[in-house]
Amino acid sequence: MKMDMDMDVNIKKNYPSYVRGREIKAEDIEEGRVSYNLHKPNIIYSFTAGQAISKFLNGLKEGKLLATECYSCNRTLFPPRIFCEVCFRPIDKWCEVKDSGVVETFSISYIDPDAKPLEKPIIVAVISIDGASPKMGIMHILGEVEPEDVYIGMRVRAVWKPESEREGSITDIMYWKPAEGD
Amino acid sequence: MNVERIKGLKFHKKQDVAIVGAGITTFKRRLNETGKELSYYAAKQALDEAGLSIKDVDMVVMGSAPDAFDGVHMKGEYLLDGSGGSDKPYMRVFVGGGTGVFAPIAGYWHVASGLADVCLVVCEEKMSSCYPHPQSAFKYIWDPILERPLKPNLIWIFALEMRRYMYVNNIKHEDIALVSVKNKANALDHPSAQLAARITVEDVLNSEPMALPVRRLDVSPPSDGASAIMMVASHIARQLTDEPVWVNGVGWALDTTWWTNRDLYFPRYVAEAARMAYKMAHITNPRKEVDVAEPYDPFDYKELHHMEGLGLAKKGEAHILTREGITARDGDLPICPSGGLLGVGNPIAATMGVKVAEIYWQLAYRAGKRQVAKEVTTGIAQAWGDLMQIGTVMVLSNKR
Amino acid sequence: MTFNEKIVNVRELKHVEGKIELYWIYTSGEAGDKFFKALKDEGKFLASKCSYCGKTYFPPRIYCEYDFSETEFIEISGEGRVRAFAVATLDSYEKPLENPEIYAIIDLDDTDGCIVHLLGEVEIKEVFIGMRVKPVLKPKEDREGRITDILYFKPS
Ligand SMILES: [Zn+2]
């Protein structure tokens, strides 16, 4: 009880004592009730993939997943890089890893990148790759499976585009499908 | 070259640093004011509370997240006049969502090093400028080659992290939803609040699915807003107030950008940042020594995740504290008494106003209706951001 | 070693094109809203005067940048004097302009502020620093509350 009384003495004015800012609605802009300026710039970038990822993308075209190995920490790095960020030294070797793996975590997405609803939800997962060091994974899409059947620890395998349609892009793998018993 | 290895971090400061005032605008989905005007409102309020004028300010730090929201490149320079930086040493800092605590950490360097005696820290965000949706700006944080072709939404990474956290610790969505219920109710007492409400766990579990397990009421909204704090050296603080709030520790750390190469169930980045801040503040048992905390809560599971990173709960046990009411405003360890990002809003960098500023008001006993029931000496504010990789931590205390 | 396996054929190095599909709607803010509404509805020019130091801002602001005091709105004529000018012969994509445009910084009368805008109804060789100019507005029905409601400034 004593503490409560002390508290009353201690509590001073409610801060912040006022807050400013005039809220407006989307309609205020649409109907021109507040003045504004609209700008739609046309900005295009060309992202170079660099040494490691170029080789990785070329590997995808051939239906292979390429990784790199660091002899210092003995990790097999996937996606591959030309330096080990832990040992901070150049990479020793290229190697091939399997096009199968394990679902580490997943989500069922109902929205597109602009937060608009998707017609059909998609399943996205982090998949750790067989043959790479533990927890070395990538983010990709799951297919040929219902959302309620996906679980953490599920084994999955890559489903590739036909070779003629591959273009050296991460989407050369269309999705990953359950691989129980493979 | 052989160099003597420096073991651990050294904290030699020139002078102690106190917070003596704070300001915050209202947080809303859309505000008419420009970013400059919002910065002015917040900065002016912080100056007024401290009893200082802009002419007393030596240096200004601006915190603001990607330029893509406001749609102004060189946003730091654009915001200069509204944040009181004209004709002064001024810098902008940015570490994604971690900025709300990183900007005051930068303010701390200015004063602790002796470069400045009075430093104004202003944080601003005007996310409503960005179309078709503020989330669209997040399309461009992904790796352009490996991830962007999959058409990801930002929510994905949080959904993936939340699922992993729930799986490893065997936590149910019901347990996590309690955080949203608590914070949105706490926000009823915050004059800036955008999404204050009395909701139930069922409301959260039945809300619209975004990227499961994440549903609409698990998430904080995009917001416009600004906030500011006044950081001063001890000899200035003494002249202004009998009850300054001291910055006793700061810490920050980043985990690898290869986020699909690490286990997401535990926020190592927060644990490392906290370790640094606790060492500086001589805190050895955070659960016992910290009286009130504002961990970053853009998602409900994040509050729990961060409590564990901060050592306020054992791994996988933060939800038990929530369920037992320990993290309520009248509990033994009040968490997010402001209402947090879930209740007050999430104008990214400007969340400094519900993190660092709130802990300041709590420790100065000025939080009014939001004042926690228990006696408070030490509090922590924490933020998090980038590709789920940075933790920023500040330890505040009303005792030096 | 990786360095022995370096890609040397540039055709094997990949790149990915990306377009930034964002656009922005900028509100003009509290001061800007007053300013543009007065311009659009009444063809009037507003500035704002600091209640503490007397500095007069154009375009108007709700605060004084230097002493952080609030300001009051005042009406001004919109006329002014050319402080500096430049002649643009290329557009923003560096294509030649058929008719070169004259851009000027114009100091507005009775203010400490200025505006960057086009000059019109004047030959390039006739423009000089210190030249007095006045604004030419779009007809009221075409005005939208934007800076382009001012077509240009012409000699007065
Ligand atoms: Zn003034």
Distance B362 CA to ligand 1 centre (A): 34
Beta bridge partners of B294: B381
Shortest Cα distance from C55 to chain B (angstroms)? Answer: 14
Distance C70 CA to ligand 1 centre (A): 8
What is d(CA B183, CA B304) in angstroms, rounded to the nearest whole number?
12
Full pLDDT tens readout for chain B, 400 residues? 455 554 456 678 899 999 999 999 999 999 999 999 999 999 999 999 999 999 999 999 999 988 999 999 999 999 999 999 999 999 999 999 999 999 999 999 999 999 999 999 999 999 999 999 998 888 888 999 999 999 999 899 999 999 999 999 999 999 999 999 999 999 999 999 999 999 999 999 999 999 999 999 999 999 999 999 999 999 999 999 998 999 999 999 999 999 999 999 999 999 999 999 999 999 999 999 999 999 999 999 999 999 999 999 999 999 999 999 999 999 999 999 999 999 999 999 999 999 999 999 999 999 999 999 999 999 999 999 988 899 999 999 999 8
CA of B290: how far to CAs of B294, B324, B372, B378, in Å?
A: 11, 18, 13, 5
Average pLDDT, chain C: 93
Which residue range forms the structural domain that includes residue C123?
Answer: 29-155
Distance C53 CA to ligand 1 centre (A): 4
Tell me what pLDDT residue A182 has: 62
Pairing verdict, β C114-119 and C71-76: unpaired
My answer on whether omega of the bond before B132 falls inside 30° of 0, hence cis, is: yes
Residue C57: inside a domain, yes or no?
yes
Nearest CA in chain B to A33: B32
User: Is the Cβ of A115 closer than 8 Å to some Cβ of chain C?
Assistant: no
Q: Is residue A11 helix, strand or coil?
A: coil
User: Is the Cβ of B136 closer than 8 Å to some Cβ of chain C?
Assistant: yes
User: Is the Cβ of C14 closer than 8 Å to some Cβ of chain A?
Assistant: yes
Is the pLDDT at A61 greater than 50? The verdict is yes
Residue C39: inside a domain, yes or no?
yes
ipTM: 0.89
Residue C73: inside a domain, yes or no?
yes
Tokens of C117: 């805008």
Nearest CA in chain A to C11: A54
Dihedral, CA of residue B370, residue B372, residue B378 and residue B383, to nearest 10: -50
| Tally of CB atoms within 10 A around A82 | 17
Longest dimension (CA), chain B: 63
Is the pLDDT at A8 greater than 70? The verdict is no
What is d(CA B202, CA B174) in angstroms, rounded to the nearest whole number?
8
**This prediction's pTM:** 0.93
Is the pLDDT at A4 greater than 50? The verdict is no
Cβ separation of C20 and A43 shorter than 8 Å? yes
Domains of chain A and CATH, by start: 50-178 (2.40.50.140)
Contact criterion met (CB below 8 Å) for B28 and B223: yes
Nearest CA in chain A to C93: A42
Is the pLDDT at A149 greater than 90? The verdict is yes
Closest CA to A44 of C21, C24, B149, B141: C21
At A5, is the pLDDT very low, low, confident or very high (cuts 50, 70, 90)? very low
Residue C74: inside a domain, yes or no?
yes
Q: To 10 degrees, what angle do helices B300-309 and B155-169 make?
A: 60
Amino acid residing at B39: S
Tell me what pLDDT residue C91 has: 87
Tell me what pLDDT residue A99 has: 96
Tokens of B208: 């619209």
Token pair 């609030």 in the structure block, residue: C70
Cβ separation of A115 and B136 shorter than 8 Å? yes
Residue C3: inside a domain, yes or no?
no
Tell me what pLDDT residue A11 has: 56
For residue C29, give the nearest of B32, B68, B86 by CB distance. Answer: B32
What is d(CA B9, CA B272) in angstroms, rounded to the nearest whole number?
12
Contact criterion met (CB below 8 Å) for A139 and B160: yes
Number of folded domains that form chain C: 1
Tokens of C113: 């502020």
Shortest Cα distance from C143 to chain B (angstroms)? Answer: 21
Give C19-67 pLDDT, tens digit per residue: 888 999 999 999 999 999 999 999 999 999 999 999 999 999 999 999 9
Contact criterion met (CB below 8 Å) for B75 and B91: no
Contact criterion met (CB below 8 Å) for B223 and B195: no
Contact criterion met (CB below 8 Å) for B235 and B117: yes
Residue C61: inside a domain, yes or no?
yes
User: Is the Cβ of B68 closer than 8 Å to some Cβ of chain C?
Assistant: yes
Is the pLDDT at A10 greater than 60? The verdict is no
Tell me what pLDDT residue C92 has: 82
Domains of chain B and CATH, by start: 17-131+222-240 (3.40.47.10)
CA of C32: how far to CAs of A17, A64, A106, B224, C59, in Å?
A: 27, 58, 47, 17, 8
Residue C44: inside a domain, yes or no?
yes
Cβ separation of A15 and B146 shorter than 8 Å? no
Residue C81: inside a domain, yes or no?
yes
